[in-house]
Chain A
Amino acid sequence: SQQGEEDPQALSIQEGENATMNCSYKTSINNLQWYRQNSGRGLVHLILIRSNEREKHSGRLRVTLDTSKKSSSLLITASRAADTASYFCATDRGSARQLTFGSGTQLTVLP
Chain B
Amino acid sequence: KAGVTQTPRYLIKTRGQQVTLSCSPISGHRSVSWYQQTPGQGLQFLFEYFSETQRNKGNFPGRFSGRQFSNSRSEMNVSTLELGDSALYLCASSRQTAQETQYFGPGTRLLVL
Chain A positions near chain B (C-beta within 8 angstroms): 1-2, 30-31, 33, 35, 40-45, 48, 88, 90, 92, 96-104
Contact = CB atoms under 8 A, between A and B. Distances in A.
Interface of B: 4, 31, 33, 35, 42-45, 48, 50, 55-56, 58-59, 88, 90, 92, 97-107, 109
Given A97-B48, A99-B102, A42 B43 contact: no
Contact of A99 (B4, B98, B106): B98
B45 to A, nearest CB: 4
Say whether chain B's binding surface is mostly helix, strand, loop, or mixed. strand
A45 B105 contact: no
Nearest to B102: A99
Contact of B99 (A30, A41, A42): A30
Contacts, number: 65
Nearest to B109: A40
A33 B33 CA distance: 16
B42 A104 contact: yes
A98 B88 contact: no
B56 A2 contact: no
Contacts of A40: 88, 107, 109
A103 B102 contact: no
Given A33-B101, A44-B104, A98 B42 contact: no
A92 B43 contact: no
Given A98-B33, A101-B42, A42 B98 contact: no
24 contacts: A2-B44, A30-B99, A33-B101, A33-B102, A40-B88, A40-B109, A42-B90, A42-B107, A43-B104, A45-B102, A45-B103, A45-B104, A88-B43, A97-B33, A97-B55, A97-B56, A98-B33, A98-B48, A98-B58, A99-B35, A99-B45, A99-B92, A99-B98, A103-B42
A100 B106 CA distance: 19
